[in-house]
Amino acid sequence: IMSASGSWKAGGWIVGMACLVIAAMGMTPAAAQPPQEAWNALYASLTTPTPTVFPTLYKQESGFLRFLGAPEGAAFSKGGGSGKSDGMADPAAAFLNRFASLFGLDYAECSLSETRRTVLRNMEYVRFSQYYQGIPVEGAEVVVQVDATGNIQSVSASALTSAEIPAGTAIETVPVLLENQAAQEALNLEARALATDPESLRVVNGPELIVFAPGIFGLAGSPVLAWKVGVSRDPARSSNTTCVYISAADGGLLLRHSQHPGLLQRTVYDVQGNANLVDSTDITPARTEGQGATGNAAVDNTYDYFGDTYNFYFNRFNVDSYDGEGSALVGYVNAPVLNAFWDTEEEYMILDSRLLADDIVGHELSHGYTLNVTDFVYFSFSGALAEVYADWGGEFIDLTNGRGDDDDNVRWWIGEDMQLFVSDQRGRQEDEDDTDVPSPLNTTGVRYMKDPTVFGNPDRLGSPLLADPTSLYDNGGVHINSGIGSKLVYLLTDGDQFNGESIQGIGIDKVADLMFNTLPKLPRSATYYDFFYALGKTSSELGFTLEERSQVLSAARAVEIEPPEAALLGLSNLRAIPTTTTTSNAPAIALTWQNPTNISIGSLVLVRSVNGYTTNLSAGLVIPLNNNSTSYLDTAVQSGVTYYYTLIGDLSETFPQLLYAKATAGGSAPNLLTQVFGNDPQLGQADQMDLSYTQITFKPAIDPAPPLGQNAVGVSYEDYRAIVRRNVFSLPVLREDVNGGAFRLPLTTDGTVSLKIPNRIPYFGKRYDNLVLGANGYIAFLPGIDQIPELNQPSAAAHFVVPRISFLFSDLAPDMSGEVWGRFLDDRVVFTFMEIPSAEDSGVTGYETPKNTVQTELFYDGTIRITYQYIGATNAVVGLSDGRGAPTEPSTLWTNVKKTLSLTKFTALPSSFNILYIEPIPYVMASGGETVRFTARAVNPAGVTGVPALTAEWTGTGRAPFADLGNGTGEFSWDTPEDTVGEYTVRVYALLGASVAWQDVSISVGFTYLLPTAQNLSISANTPYEDPFQSRLVPLGSPLSASYEYYHPLSKRAPDLYSEGDTIIYWFRNGQIVPELLGRLSVPAPALRSGDRWWFGVIPVAAGGYYGDLVQSPVVTVDGFPKITAVVPNYGLTIGGETVTIQGRQLSRTVKVYFGGVPATNLRVLSDEAIQVTVPLHEAGRVDVVCESPEGTGILNGGYRYISDYRDLVKEDLNKDGRIDAVDVQLATNAILKLVALPNADVNGDKKVNVKDVQLVVKRALLH
């Protein structure tokens, strides 16, 4: 391992690192893992041609399997066993019986029941529904793929696992709410949501008693007993039904979503047409099979499009009609509904002729086809996948039926041939009359699969346009988030460059086979991550070549549906490190990588080139490797030559993987840009912290530049430069200035917050617009890092595992004091930890907890600047991580090479850059018709003279409008046409001798991806000294008030579009939405119950209709503990027996009262503010009075005084507290003034209360 002096020792770090990676792969604490003997049995059941192949495993956070896939050429034997699925047909049931524990389905209350079998390409797909004590679990399904030999190929499980049921508890199976009550409550809730009268609705399905497990739908909360009720908005028919899920305990709304897929996101009832004829016996067919054309365009076109759809599925997949049984295709046209939808219950199509088009009909009928294979839950991502498959079917039918115009101008539009004109959401402009004028990008259609953002839909999973999949809006964004899958289909079919990936299209036929054969593997509540793994399994089954499977992977990465943990589980961590041999001092390059631990490798090949990275085996030197190899020493190299290595791993049962690394033979080992301070768990004692009042700047210097629009692959530490400045006594960015102010980031100890930033930031060659800010002083580019405790705790090993900027990776406690704030500026994003204390166990000694102030700036050109003020932490990791794991010292693997690697000493860095670079250029946004202008300034290397030449290229048409001004600067100036809409990238180059620098500048014209945000959310109970920005306890009886700040950077520039609109506000009680409080900023006090957890969420909405992400407030827990303010009377004899009244708050649930530890008797509740008890026997003296309730304990210290005799009482002691003091004097005075009624104020017994009594009290007080 590396010592504090920077030299390396053998062992330690490498071993520790391996353990950490394995823990990270599990994604779960060891206690939650399924039993090891079950894993052993699973691997033993794998029938493989070689003993080194592994299955594909996709685990949930609990450690239980969600997807299991056999390697190519292998399968799982069904084995034996009985129990979980007795009575179900083998072999699928037998396999589930045997391995139920791996899927978390081995608890006694769980049972599975077969629901459907389908056969496709000699594979049988068996679907099982889940039950909890005989009650169906909504949306839960297990799909088992069985091959022709009866062995198992794959299992997809989206079900209620034992991990979701707290130990020692059970789900209630007896409803409190009766069936008729559930029906009426569902009608009331749906009426409230639609702002209509419950009498206008009717129940068409149910109520059905179910178990509702929120986790299946991606929601928070514990599984509960619920009623599922189908409510129709149309009393005449069951179409357009909404599924309403309500708690069977209290009738609270759990979820509601549409039951029927619809192309447009609205329903219009129009009495101009005769809608009553739909499904009526009073209508006769206009055209039946074999009849000629009628001359009615709507009838004839629908008839033809039905035939196109039937032929597409029958000729390609041998599926006879939507149900596979040859059922007639029935449609009703000219319906006055301004919609098109497939009625899932009646199995017919209803169509407004204004929406008539071949892809619209194909879309709706495809819902019928997919419904009979995978009946997707029409909510969240599973509902989005239902829309993806409908769009795929509709557009492929359009592109293959030979009808209409399918040239490049209209290709991939859904509904381009329909009559209705639908404007897109990003190209709208206003004319002089303030009326909307569509831009040239507008066309008839409802979606655009090539670029879903045209209609405001996301084209990747991390898009800022992503709709909240857990919201009630559009059933969790089913029509919006389908854009992700639609973009995938386009990329796979035609190919394109997108999101840093370059995809070569594989054509309609291949994509059609891939999509259709993936469908049976998906469970009802599938996510995009399930879709990813199923695509990998299917591409292997279909015999796709290595190159074709690579294209599928590239497209999946482009739309970001590859799970974050997939990179940790696959081939990873390729490094190329220059070194020299110990014998001849000859140059060598050491290559190391990490093989997957549970995925088999079909082949492993290393390709070396001197002309850049290549996957073409004929364009470089092919170095065959053993499939188990994890290192290679390349000694056939020449000093001074840069070598580019591509490692190709054919992971035969999933996607192939390609890794890249480069090194210059004979060069120095790369600076790891990381320093360890204090005591590290793996390294031991390292350097002493010395970064106070220091500024470190990192700048990328990637050479060669990647193709415009693509990520740079193989970027390593040698592609970064770093400098240091000392004695920096102020932060570069203030919390507030003339350009705006900061937003607060409420981080808790060991917590994280995920942020979407306005523009993408390049980091080690990849561009990110999503990042994770950790309370422990880091910025990571891996979602869900907080779910892996080992990666969230400070250590050098954890630092290197994921792409991360460790600005002060230390044990910090931002919720103790200080503030964390952020700012989004034109050219950078800024995060500041201001006066944040180190945690108690961070190695700090002394009485005062040390504070830390540090600011991190991430510029859009990739520059990173970290400025430290006072740093009190002693243990920390600081620097950059490329996420490839801890570097392996070559001399620990090969005895014939010299020690090479060392950590950085930041204070020893140079103070100026020795490279040519271009100053950071801001992200540019403009409207069509405006001039887009920016200036680029080149900076020479330190000590180098001369004037750099500047030039540019861009993704726009023609030559880039850029001019070199001849003084080391250049100007870009583009007069955009009025109708310009699009995203553009300008790459500026600076050249000085042999030195080249470049920078990409993003330009957005005519629209913006910047969505509104809600920030500085606070929740107040209007109590003194509260911090409304922190989660905390609040008293019962106090109303809650919500506060937030709406923010959009363009709200002042274009208020009509970006000022605040109809922002949506949800209140959550114990994880469930409270529909009665929708849109309100307060919760009345009567709604609060002791022990409830409350928070609110804000979906900011701009005036132009743009929806931001759901942002949630801190959580407050209602404190229902009893509060005692007084005991009346507050004294009594030691023998007890007196009745006293205890006054206070939250007293009505008191179950026990104690006087000095002795229980009182005869408890009587008078109100929530008062109770009565009989005082117990106790010795003389003052005692504490305690009230106990289920919520907790309240105490009044010294609240009662026991006396042995009333003669012990002194008359002048008016309040009987055993003391005569100013309080008694005040009481006597108040009695004279008749402010209080106090009979015992007659101290002298003359039956009058006057100044003489006050004098006696004063006199005794002076003597006392």
Structure tokens at 573: 């961590």
Average pLDDT for 888-894: 93
- Integer Cα distance of 630 and 317 in angstroms: 43
Mind listing the pLDDT tens digit for each residue in 1021-1031? 988 788 898 88
Pairing of strands 1032-1035, 1116-1119: parallel
CA distances from 916 to 718, 913, 948, 995 (A): 15, 8, 9, 7
Measuring CA to CA, which residue among 1105, 1102, 1110, 1115 is closest to residue 1046?
1102
The 10s digit of each residue's pLDDT in 491-501 is 999 998 888 78
DSSP bridge partners of 132: 110, 135
- CA Rg, the chain, in Å? 35
Which CATH number, 1.10.150.110, 1.10.390.10, 3.90.440.10, 2.30.30.30, labels domain 275-566?
A: 1.10.390.10
Residue with the bigger pLDDT between 200 and 968: it is: 968
pLDDT at 1217: 67
State the pLDDT at residue 651: 66
Contact in structure between 230 and 204 (CB atoms under 8 Å) = yes
* Residue type, position 174, single letter: V
> What CATH number is given for 1121-1209 in this structure?
2.60.40.10
Domain spanning 570-664, CATH architecture:
Sandwich (2.60)
Give the integer Cα–Cα distance in Å for 1022 and 1038.
Answer: 7
pLDDT one-digit tens code per residue, 319-354: 777 777 777 777 777 666 666 666 766 676 676 677
Topology agreement, domain 1013-1117 and domain 1121-1209 = yes
Lowest model confidence (mean pLDDT) among 132-141, 860-869, 905-914, 1183-1192: 1183-1192
Q: Are 1003 and 995 in contact (CB under 8 A)?
A: no
* 22 pLDDT tier (thresholds 50, 70, 90): very low
Q: For residue 571, report the phi and psi dihedrals to the nearest 5 degrees.
A: -65, 130
917-1005 has CATH 3.40.1190.20 classification: no
> Can you give the pLDDT at residue 440?
36
* Complete DSSP assignment for 1203-1220: ES-GGGS-TT-TT-SS--
207 cis-preceded (ω within 30 degrees of 0) = yes
Q: What would the mean pLDDT of 998-1024 be, rounded to a whole number?
A: 84
| Per-residue 3-state assignment (H helix, E strand, C coil) for 59-99 | ECCCCCEEEEECCCCCEECCCCCCCCCCCCCCCHHHHHHHH
pLDDT single digits (tens) 441-486: 445 577 889 988 888 788 998 887 888 888 777 788 888 899 999 9
Cα 149 to Cα 70: distance, rounded to the nearest angstrom: 14
Q: What is the pTM of this model?
A: 0.65
The arrangement of secondary structure in 1213-1264, i.e. its CATH architecture, is Orthogonal Bundle (1.10)
pLDDT band at 878 (very low <50, low <70, confident <90, very high): very high
Q: Identify the residue with better confidence: 1244 or 1157.
A: 1157
pLDDT tens string 355-395: 777 888 788 888 888 888 888 888 889 999 999 999 998 89
pLDDT of 28 reads 35
Query: Among candidates 889, 897, 853, which has minimal Cα distance to 873?
Result: 853
SS (HEC) of 382-417: HHHHHHHHHHHHHHHHHHHCCCCCCCCCCCCEECCC
How many residues belong to the chain? Answer: 1264
Give the residue from 1207, 1152, 1200, 1209 showing the smallest Cα distance to 1178.
Answer: 1200
User: SS3 for 150?
Assistant: coil
DSSP 892: G
Mean pLDDT of the chain, nearest integer: 82
Q: Which CATH architecture has domain 179-258?
A: Roll (3.10)
- At 600-658, the pLDDT tens digits run 676 788 999 998 888 676 778 888 888 889 999 999 999 999 999 999 887 655 677 88
Which residue type does 1066 have? Y
The domain segmentation of the chain, as residue ranges, is: 33-164, 179-258, 275-566, 570-664, 674-886, 917-1005, 1013-1117, 1121-1209, 1213-1264
Bridge-based pairing state of the strands 1093-1099 and 1064-1069: antiparallel
What fold, for 1013-1117?
A: Immunoglobulin-like (2.60.40)
